Amino acid sequence: MTQPGSPQPSVAGAAGRGLALIAFAVVLGLVLLQSTVDGGEAATSDTTAPVTETTQPGDDVTTTTAGDGTETSTTVEGEPTTTTVPSGDMQPRNELRLIVVNVNGVTGSAGKLTDQLKPFGYITEDGANGTGEDIQDSVIYYEPGFAAEANRLAAEDLEWSLEQVQPKPTDIPADLPEGVELHFVIMLGKTEAGG
């Protein structure tokens, strides 16, 4: 019994607290369930957070045109611009094949970059030589359907600008292996080769 003048326990308050506790437990359970897979092992996938690159006014942006090696350079004016690469399921690196092409005049640079990319798990071909003019800034060409993976390669693995990622043209000025599906062709220019 309660003493006269003492507060009465609130049935509604206790019920509300109980419901809140149950709701919290359900949400926590769903979160834990979603983050585990068969046998309680942590889920793994080759996903990544969105990659964001911001260009500030006054920044120089250089784009290399495929094929003829011509370059265009522009200076960003006006407001900052932000480019965001969406996240989502991506092909694992160990299922992607690439080749590095030397278009910079620095002997051994394609092999050196290839060696730097191997620990990420990519399937790599031996370096190749370009058949056109040397270029200043590198370009990563990608097969259709692999834009997100190419952006991951540029931004995360190489720490290059997303401006250097372009769809693969039909004719690449390089001695590429025949009959090999290449997801990426990295045209290694003078800037990134240190030349």
For the segment 25-43, what is each residue's pLDDT rounded down to a tens digit? 665 555 555 544 334 433 3
- Residues with Cβ within 8 Å of 130's Cβ and at least 6 positions away in sequence, in order, are 101, 102, 103, 173, 174, 175, 187
Residue 116 has pLDDT above 80, yes or no: yes
State CA 181 to chain mean position distance.
20
> Whole-structure pTM over 0.85, yes or no?
no
Q: Is the dihedral of CA 106, 153, 161, 71 positive or negative?
A: positive
Residue 21 is predicted with a pLDDT of 59
Which residue ranges make up each domain of the chain? 11-42, 47-193
- Closest Cα partner for 140 from 178, 111, 167? 167
Residue 137 is predicted with a pLDDT of 96
Average pLDDT, stretch 55-64?
A: 48
Quickly count: other Cβ atoms within 10 Å of residue 162's Cβ.
Answer: 17
State CA 60 to chain mean position distance.
22
pLDDT digits (tens, 9 = 90+) for 137-152: 999 999 999 999 999 9
3-class secondary-structure state, position 165: strand
Residue 142 is predicted with a pLDDT of 98
Residue 105 is predicted with a pLDDT of 93
Residue 16 has pLDDT above 50, yes or no: yes
Average pLDDT, stretch 85-105?
A: 88
Q: To which H or E segment does residue 142 belong?
A: strand 139-142
Average pLDDT, stretch 52-79?
A: 45
pLDDT digits (tens, 9 = 90+) for 129-185: 999 999 999 999 999 999 999 999 999 999 999 999 999 999 999 999 999 999 999
